[in-house]
């Protein structure tokens, strides 16, 4: 897949990663356009079903970006998100997917550079992994329907 451009969903906490993305923009630090940001009030609100729905809807990779540990505005939402991500990674692994397709990242609102660097690194990781297994299955199905 030489020209593969992954679709990546980033669930970003309003108080940190979303603001960091904004800061990256105002500092004119570019990051790959593959990242589709979904603002959430806290990463603790991102449930396993939201992650799996993103994959079902065509995401090749998903990451959750939340406040630094100890800085969550809702006490421990980012810790809950971390455990949730670990559980979903286990499910992905059980399904035979690469668990690197899902990640959790912590940053503060002032870390515009970190946001951009993370977006770049995650995009590169997903490019190396290729399209999500769901996309491959759907492509195979559509080829069957055409022929
Ligand atoms: Fe940012 Fe909870 S408020 S992760």
What is the whole-number distance in angstroms between the Cα of residue 86 and the centre of ligand 1? 17
Per-residue pLDDT reduced to its tens digit, 15-58: 999 999 999 999 999 999 999 999 999 999 999 999 999 999 99
Answer yes or no: is 1 within a domain: no
Pocket lined around ligand 1, Cβ cut-off 6 Å: 13, 15-16, 42-44, 66-67, 72-74, 77-78
- What is the rounded end-to-end Cα distance, in angstroms, of the chain? 22
Flag whether 34 is in a domain: yes
The answer as to whether 18 is a domain residue is: yes
Domain that holds residue 40: 8-146
3 found inside a domain? no
Residue 2 located in a structural domain: no
Q: How far apart, in Å, are the Cα atoms of 30 and each of 61, 64, 95, 119, 143?
A: 19, 19, 34, 10, 37
CA–centroid distance, residue 146 to ligand 1 (Å): 46
User: What's the residue count for the chain?
Assistant: 147
pTM (whole model) above 0.95? no
Rounded to the nearest angstrom, the distance between the alpha carbon of 15 and the centre of ligand 1 is: 6
Confidence of residue 102 (pLDDT cuts 50, 70, 90): very high
Q: What is the CATH number of the domain that holds 70?
A: 3.40.50
Cα–ligand 1 centroid distance for 26 (angstroms): 22
């Amino acid at each position: 897949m030489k020209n593969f451009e992954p679709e990546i969903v980033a669930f970003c906490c309003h108080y940190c990663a979303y603001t960091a993305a904004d800061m990256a923009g105002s500092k004119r630090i570019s990051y790959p356009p593959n990242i589709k940001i979904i603002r959430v009030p806290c990463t603790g609100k991102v449930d396993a079903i939201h992650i799996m729905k993103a994959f079902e809807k065509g995401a090749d990779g998903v990451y959750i970006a939340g406040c630094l540990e100890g800085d969550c505005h809702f006490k421990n939402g980012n810790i809950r998100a971390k455990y949730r991500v670990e559980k979903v990674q286990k499910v992905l692994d059980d399904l035979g997917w690469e668990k690197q397709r899902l990640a959790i990242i912590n940053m503060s609102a002032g870390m515009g550079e970190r946001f951009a660097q993370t977006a770049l690194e995650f995009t590169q990781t997903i490019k190396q992994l290729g399209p999500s297994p769901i996309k491959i299955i759907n492509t195979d199905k559509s080829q069957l329907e055409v022929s």
